[in-house]
Chains A and B, each alone.
Chain A
Amino acid sequence: MMAEVQPDIEYQAHLAEGHFMIQRGIASGVHHFYPRAIEPGTGRALEWVEASGKGKVHSVTVISRKPPLEPYNVVLVDLAEGPRMMSRVDGIDPAAIRIGMAVTARIVEEDERQFVVFVPAEEA
């Protein structure tokens, strides 16, 4: 019997080793994010594959904060493989982030958790 995927634990373990992994349906070939135990729709098995890290900004919001705190951005990124994810774009003035902008993934660690952010593609 195939061992069941433990989605979040395995995803985090890959990030800790420096790999941004997403899932792909073994039968369907369709990529998915976020990590799940079964494929959405079909309910079938998933395998881990390394994301290319390439993506485009699908939407962006800039969240205002009381000075001296700086505003920060939250984006939705369409990964080259198809899935969409929430993230942020670092290394750029939040006001300069545009929908459609090409971005590249980076793994960062904050608050004792590793997660994926993006930087503008030309700085990759």
Chain B
Amino acid sequence: MTSSPFPRGKVSIVGATTFGQGRAPGFQSSDLAAIAARDALAQAGLTPADVDGLFFCHPTDTFGGLSFAQYLGIHPTITDNSRVGGSAFQAYVEQATFLLDAGLIDVALIAFGNNQATATGKLATTIYPMTYEAPYKPINPVSSYALAAARHMHQYGTTQEQLGEVALAARSWAQMNPEAFKRDPLDMETYMASRTVSSPLKVLDCCLVTDGAAAIVLTRTDRARDLIARPVAVLGAASATTHREISWMEDLTVTAAKDSGARAYAAAGVTASDIDVVQVYDAFTINTILFLEDLGFCPKGEGGRFVEGGAIAPGGRLPVNTNGGGLSCCHPGMYGLFTLVEAIRQLRGECGTRQVTDPHLAIAHGNGGVLSSQATVILGSPETI
């Protein structure tokens, strides 16, 4: 294993929460994020005034980080509202860890909120159609993911039912999560009969459009131990970008998660077989299959067969997206932070009936654009440091 520059275990998470998943009428996006931020900070006895590193995404505000600093009434040393898509939050963990370890900041707040479902009922976006794709009228993002799914089916024999298995597993987990938005039962017959949006993807292959907010708080591990009993350690984190539009993704069946995952594992000194609980950004069912392959849980091309027979559902061989994922829990436009919160909650043992037995290692993987930017975080219990 090559040596990693990542400061393994030097930074820990001392607060993590969600707010307003599903529908949150009466709130602006920043209100939702502020409430989640307040609650995440409070878990460690902190307030907004303690934050000197602010990492924030607003669904539409180009200057979102500045606006949120103003909202919180703070003057951060580091303010970041970079936009690499839904993987931004994993990238924030990576960057905040280096900044904390170097002593440039002492308390990092990573926050997100979106009221899109209540405000417009549609995915809130500021994305411009690409000149050389627009004439063909792809329905993005779904058509781009559909092109990847079609290619995976062609090369590896992945089936519609295997995509359906991902949707069914997510729903089964959601049924055990009181915060999840879609909790009604789902069976394969209903999945197969559901409307095709952009073949091969059906409406039940697509993530939800909901409101929601989340926040996490990071500080150096030595201080974290003074704040709470069992901080969650950041063991590894890494990012990678391969393209923007699907037309320029070199291999539609291999994502940059292969690269970000390998570097995150190297930083943490663990492999996929060590991981107890998996959270991946499931914007579409094909994502879960691609990321299970690229993060090393099964060989390339085997993702469809891997998820068969309820293997990633409750009681299966690998617990994946235990909150119900973007498919059934919530998807407020950018879902990456919610994978982190669920991983943290599992490691803290807060997950009620969906709690995985005594997990010590969790992976939270973020995806941005159309499989364009990938970022992976590996988290551990205090014992793993």
CA separation between A88 and B198, bound complex, in Å? 14
Known A34-B132, A86-B133, A110-B135; judge A64-B246 contact (CB<8 A). Answer: no
On chain A, the residues within 8 Å of B247 by CB distance are 76, 84-86
Known A59-B252, A61-B143, A74-B138; judge A8-B246 contact (CB<8 A). Answer: no
CA separation between A115 and B98, bound complex, in Å? 47
On chain A, the residues within 8 Å of B199 by CB distance are 61-64
Tell me the number of A-to-B contacts counted with CB atoms below 8 Å: 70
Contact with B along A23-40 (1 / 0, CB 8 A): 000000000011000000
CA separation between A124 and B373, bound complex, in Å? 39
Known A74-B138, A87-B136, A113-B135; judge A64-B147 contact (CB<8 A). Answer: no
Known A84-B247, A86-B247, A110-B135; judge A59-B195 contact (CB<8 A). Answer: no
CA separation between A110 and B137, bound complex, in Å? 12
Among A59, A63, A85, A115, which residue has its beta carbon within 8 angstroms of that of B139?
A63
Contact with B along A42-86 (1 / 0, CB 8 A): 000000000000000011111110000000101010000000111
A99 on interface, CB distance cutoff 8 Å: yes
Q: Which residue of A lies closest to B146 (CB)?
A: A61
Separation in Å of the B309 CB from the closest CB of chain A? 28
Among A60, A84, A88, A115, which residue has its beta carbon within 8 angstroms of that of B248?
A84
Contact with A along B57-99 (1 / 0, CB 8 A): 0000000000000000000000000000000000000000000
Separation in Å of the B250 CB from the closest CB of chain A? 9
Contact B136 A99 (CB under 8 A): no
Contact B150 A63 (CB under 8 A): no
Contact A59 B143 (CB under 8 A): no
Contact with B along A2-42 (1 / 0, CB 8 A): 00000010000000000000000000000001100000000
Contact A72 B252 (CB under 8 A): no
Instruction: Tell me how many residues of B have a C-beta within 8 Å of chain A.
Output: 27
CA separation between A59 and B146, bound complex, in Å? 9
Separation in Å of the A33 CB from the closest CB of chain B? 8
On chain A, the residues within 8 Å of B151 by CB distance are 58-59, 99
Contact with A along B144-160 (1 / 0, CB 8 A): 00111011001000000
CA separation between A105 and B352, bound complex, in Å? 58
On chain B, the residues within 8 Å of A110 by CB distance are 135
B131 on interface, CB distance cutoff 8 Å: yes
B196 on interface, CB distance cutoff 8 Å: yes
Q: Which of the listed residues A34, A58, A59, A111 has the most CB atoms from chain B within 10 Å of its own CB?
A: A59
Separation in Å of the B255 CB from the closest CB of chain A? 15
B275 on interface, CB distance cutoff 8 Å: no
Contact B198 A63 (CB under 8 A): yes
| Chain A residues at the B interface, C-beta cutoff of 8 Å | 8, 33-34, 58-64, 72, 74, 76, 84-88, 99, 110-111, 113, 115
Sample (9) of A-B pairs whose CB atoms are under 8 Å apart? A59-B252, A64-B196, A74-B136, A74-B143, A76-B247, A86-B132, A87-B136, A115-B135, A115-B136
Known contacts A63-B197, A111-B135; 6 additional CB pairs below 8 A are A59-B147, A59-B148, A76-B252, A85-B247, A86-B138, A115-B136
